[in-house]
Amino acid sequence: MTTNKSLPATTTGALFTVVGVCEIISVIGEVTTILQTQACNLKLSTVSNSATTEICSDLNISGKLVQSRMSITGTFGDALINTAKGVPVARQATSVIVQEGTIIATTSATNTGAIRWTARYK
């Protein structure tokens, strides 16, 4: 699955809808429109049956350039990993099992910019 999203404005934004139980093998975001240079934290979570679970903790995304990438490790509590343009993204160490619901992005500030998110799952 792939989706291109502008950053949500100091709130959450839906990235993917999960139908049934799903094993997430990797989640990678690639900046497609430069992110505004202003402090802004980003994290990813799942929402299922009104319960929210963080699948990674915050990464400051201020000023990220086009083609910068970010990914999760698969270990809850680990920060979203930043990878500079041109540097390979490390493989996700652990898959994540998610229930039916939504995968969301949450920002701490209103910043301009967009990220193309790709999720591999089974």
From first to last of the 122 residues of the chain, give the pLDDT tens digit: 677 777 877 788 999 999 999 999 999 999 999 999 999 999 999 999 889 999 999 999 999 999 999 999 999 999 999 998 888 888 899 999 999 999 999 999 989 999 999 999 99
What is the reported pLDDT for 73? 95
What is the reported pLDDT for 3? 73
CB 61 within 8 A of CB 42: yes
Q: Which tokens in the block code for residue 7?
A: 């950053």
Cα separation, 75 vs 34, whole angstroms: 28
What is the reported pLDDT for 55? 95
Count CB-CB contacts under 10 A for residue 99. 14
* First-residue to last-residue Cα distance in the chain: 11
Cα separation, 87 vs 104, whole angstroms: 25
- Cα angle value 14/111/55 (rounded, 5°): 40
Q: What is the pTM of this model?
A: 0.91
2-121: what fold? Jelly Rolls (2.60.120)
Cα separation, 97 vs 53, whole angstroms: 11
Query: What letter represents residue 20's amino acid?
Result: G
